[in-house]
């Protein structure tokens, strides 16, 4: 490990202070740029009020981690060695430390780097897992590493204790064919929550398990669907020692197949002890704003079809896919957030990794990333993808719904995405709630920040488009390759991405072309 606080690779950072308001809704506080050349790229891990980490691989066989404080001033920079043939895959932040995962496709060898974000030092661990293991989830809790994945199309959940280098497969025997859908860290209760989709024919139920850091099973709950339904996804949230909530999507049982996961609506299940108190189903046909992403003519046709079905005592069957967020507790109510998307494919001879979305594809600055087909289709059985190459997820809109403590739908709202596409399925929309009942919805696309403020069914502030500008005279952003935004801390958001900029009219120091990675601190 080489720690250098003052002269890390002689990279010059262009600091640009912004004093002008981008719009009345937001103000750019500070922007920094790091020059990009060759295959240089960065991954960003926001740390809340502790700042932000930037991860890169400057050379083969090395990694670099830089920490910036909340003023975007660099605090430290660390170089470290890594096996030359390993790719960066992902990072996990448990509120205390950041863990970096390096591996190669279907390899049993993994290197894990623990970054202590305060003092700035790293520890490196090398572990072996299972032969031909395809990783879909990576989460850490203390020195415990939980990895979910597939071995020959069978789901596997692996626990590794880094201090002892002991690895074991956690028992996941559940009656019926099952898939691991989500693995989430609950830092408040120091638990890892795992949701299994257990299928029987075209019907699936959700089994949610909470594990302690040692791998011991802390609690298990099962949510069974009504006869005509199938539960397509689930996320477990522990409210206290006895009360747990499972939320997700459901669909009609006869609409499901290995090639299609058709969501009809959202469900919420409240469990006290190990027994469900209620499971409420909310069809999107009940929502007032779900179909706002359509044009007026399409909405009118949809509303007519819904009315016609309801008059005959039925519900119009829908076919959507949703990425469900964690519940946002709001007094005694629950705020549900989900993003509507669909996967796209192109037909050609797939590469070794093409069919599963690994390696060298749009949306990954570097490394492999994680891809989990079970996340959006629990009926997926490892077949039917031989002739198709995955070509990314397209997001259409996001929905926000408020339900009371008994699961009753109080109101809903939505925000449209403007042709957002990503190779990895992850949360794009950020929702911030306020004591006056307002909620702010924010996402980033094509180098701009888009926001909307709602209060229940009402729109307080219509869609805003805030340019993510450099604020250097003469600059023109020619291309934004990647961009993202996340709520950071207090009233600040952090935006980042890659841009190609040209300047033909500025002073001699700024004139010319440059490719940069930017971090932009924005105050709302």
Phi, psi of 484 (to 5 degrees): -155, 165
Return the structure tokens found at 327: 């519940």
Q: Which domain holds residue 285?
A: 174-353+370-428
What is the three-class DSSP state of 167?
A: strand
- Given a contact cutoff of 8 angstroms between Cβ atoms, the answer to whether 294 and 304 are in contact is no
Pair type for strands 512-523 and 492-503: antiparallel
197 plus 262 within the same structural domain: yes
CA distance 380 to 187: 31
- Maximum alpha-carbon separation in the chain: 73
Tens-place pLDDT, residues 206-248:
999 999 999 999 988 899 999 999 999 999 988 888 889 999 9
Closest CA to 102 of 49, 77, 65: 65
144 plus 208 within the same structural domain: no
What is the residue-level pLDDT of the chain in tens, covering all 524 positions? 444 433 333 333 443 333 333 334 567 789 999 999 877 889 999 999 999 999 998 888 899 999 999 999 999 999 999 887 888 889 999 888 999 999 887 677 899 999 999 888 899 999 888 888 888 899 999 999 999 988 887 888 999 999 998 888 888 767 666 788 889 998 888 999 999 998 887 789 999 999 999 999 998 889 999 999 999 999 998 888 888 999 999 999 998 887 778 899 999 999 998 888 999 999 999 999 999 999 999 999 999 999 999 999 999 999 999 999 988 888 888 899 999 998 887 765 433 333 333 333 333 445 556 777 777 788 776 544 445 677 888 999 999 999 998 999 999 999 999 878 887 788 899 998 888 888 999 998 877 888 899 999 888 987 778 777 787 888 888 888 878 889 999 989 999 989 888 988 767 767 788 899 999 998 87
Residue 44 lies in a domain: yes
Residue 260 lies in a domain: yes
User: Taking the CA of residue 490 as centre, how many other CA atoms within 13 Å lie in the half-sphere pointing to its CB?
Assistant: 8
143 plus 207 within the same structural domain: no
Counting the structural domains of the chain, the total is: 2
Torsion of CA 253, 290, 398, 247, to 10 degrees: -40
290 plus 339 within the same structural domain: yes
187 plus 162 within the same structural domain: no
Name the domain boundary from 398, 428, 458: 428
180 plus 168 within the same structural domain: no
Residue 497 lies in a domain: no
121 plus 258 within the same structural domain: no
> 467-477: string of b/e by CB count within 10 Å (b at 16+)?
ebbbebeebeb
Return the structure tokens found at 184: 């989430």
Strand partners, 184: 193
CA distance 369 to 94: 19
Task: Please state, as a whole number, how many other Cβ atoms lie within 10 Å of the Cβ of residue 391.
Answer: 18
CA distance 359 to 126: 22
CA distance 267 to 432: 22
Name the domain boundary from 126, 155, 172: 172
Q: Rg of the chain over CA atoms, in angstroms? A: 23
Residue 463 lies in a domain: no
Q: What is the CATH number of the domain that holds 148?
A: 2.130.10.10
Residue 221 lies in a domain: yes
- Given a contact cutoff of 8 angstroms between Cβ atoms, the answer to whether 251 and 230 are in contact is yes
Tens-place pLDDT, residues 375-389:
778 877 654 444 567
- Given a contact cutoff of 8 angstroms between Cβ atoms, the answer to whether 395 and 340 are in contact is yes
Residue 470 lies in a domain: no
237 plus 162 within the same structural domain: no
DSSP 183-230: EEEETTTTEEEEEEEEEETTEEEEEEEEE-TTS-EEEEEEEPPPTTEE
215 plus 316 within the same structural domain: yes
CA distance 276 to 270: 6
167 plus 180 within the same structural domain: no
Residue 5 lies in a domain: no
167 plus 300 within the same structural domain: no
Name the domain boundary from 172, 190, 215: 172
- Given a contact cutoff of 8 angstroms between Cβ atoms, the answer to whether 401 and 407 are in contact is no
288 plus 259 within the same structural domain: yes
Pair type for strands 166-169 and 177-186: unpaired
Task: Please state, as a whole number, how many other Cβ atoms lie within 10 Å of the Cβ of residue 116.
Answer: 13
Residue 479 lies in a domain: no
């Amino acid at each position: 490990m080489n720690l250098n606080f003052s002269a890390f690779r002689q990279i010059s950072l262009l600091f640009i202070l912004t004093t002008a308001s981008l719009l009345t809704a937001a103000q750019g506080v500070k922007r920094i740029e790091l020059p990009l050349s060759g295959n240089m790229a960065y991954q960003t891990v926001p740390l809340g009020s502790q700042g932000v980490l930037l991860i890169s691989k400057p050379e083969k066989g090395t990694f670099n981690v830089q920490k910036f404080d909340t003023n975007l001033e660099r605090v430290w920079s660390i170089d470290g060695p890594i096996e030359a043939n390993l790719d960066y895959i992902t990072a996990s932040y448990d509120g205390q430390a950041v863990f970096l995962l390096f591996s190669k496709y279907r390899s049993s060898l993994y290197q894990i780097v623990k970054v202590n974000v305060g003092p700035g030092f790293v520890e490196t661990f090398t572990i072996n897992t299972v032969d031909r293991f395809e990783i879909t989830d990576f989460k850490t809790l203390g020195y415990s590493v939980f990895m979910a994945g597939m071995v020959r199309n069978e789901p596997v959940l692996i626990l590794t204790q880094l201090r002892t280098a002991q690895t074991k497969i956690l028992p996941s025997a559940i009656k019926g064919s099952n898939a691991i859908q989500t693995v989430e860290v609950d830092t408040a209760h120091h638990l890892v929550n795992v949701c299994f989709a257990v299928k029987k024919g075209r019907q699936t139920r959700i089994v949610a398990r909470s594990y302690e850091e040692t791998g011991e099973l802390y609690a298990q709950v099962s949510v069974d669907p009504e006869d005509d339904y199938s539960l397509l996804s689930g996320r477990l949230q522990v409210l206290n020692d006895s009360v747990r909530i499972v939320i997700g999507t459901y669909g009609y049982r006869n609409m499901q197949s290995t090639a299609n996961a058709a969501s009809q609506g959202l469900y919420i299940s409240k469990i006290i002890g190990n027994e469900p108190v209620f499971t409420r189903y909310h069809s999107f046909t009940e929502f007032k704003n779900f179909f706002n992403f359509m044009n007026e003519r399409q909405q009118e046709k949809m509303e007519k079809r819904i009315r016609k079905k309801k008059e005959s005592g039925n519900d119009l069957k829908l076919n959507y896919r949703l990425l469900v967020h964690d519940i946002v507790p709001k007094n005694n109510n629950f705020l549900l957030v989900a993003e509507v998307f669909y996967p796209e494919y192109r037909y050609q001879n797939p590469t070794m990794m093409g069919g599963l979305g690994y390696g060298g594809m749009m949306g990954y600055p570097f490394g492999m990333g994680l891809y989990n087909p079970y996340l959006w289709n629990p009926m997926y059985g490892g077949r039917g993808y031989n002739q198709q190459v995955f070509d990314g997820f397209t997001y259409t809109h996001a929905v926000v719904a408020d339900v009371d403590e008994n699961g009753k739908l109080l109101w809903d709202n939505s925000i449209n995405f403007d042709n957002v596409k990503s190779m990895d399925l992850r949360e794009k929309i950020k929702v911030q709630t306020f004591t006056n009942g307002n909620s702010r919805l924010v996402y980033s696309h094509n180098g701009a920040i888009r926001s909307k403020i709602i209060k229940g069914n009402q729109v307080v502030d219509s869609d805003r488009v805030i340019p993510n500008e450099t604020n250097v005279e003469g600059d023109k952003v020619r291309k934004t390759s990647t961009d993202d935004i996340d709520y950071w801390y207090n009233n600040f958001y952090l935006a980042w991405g890659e841009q190609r900029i040209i300047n033909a009219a500025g002073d001699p120091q700024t004139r010319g072309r440059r490719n940069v990675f930017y971090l932009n601190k924005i105050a709302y």
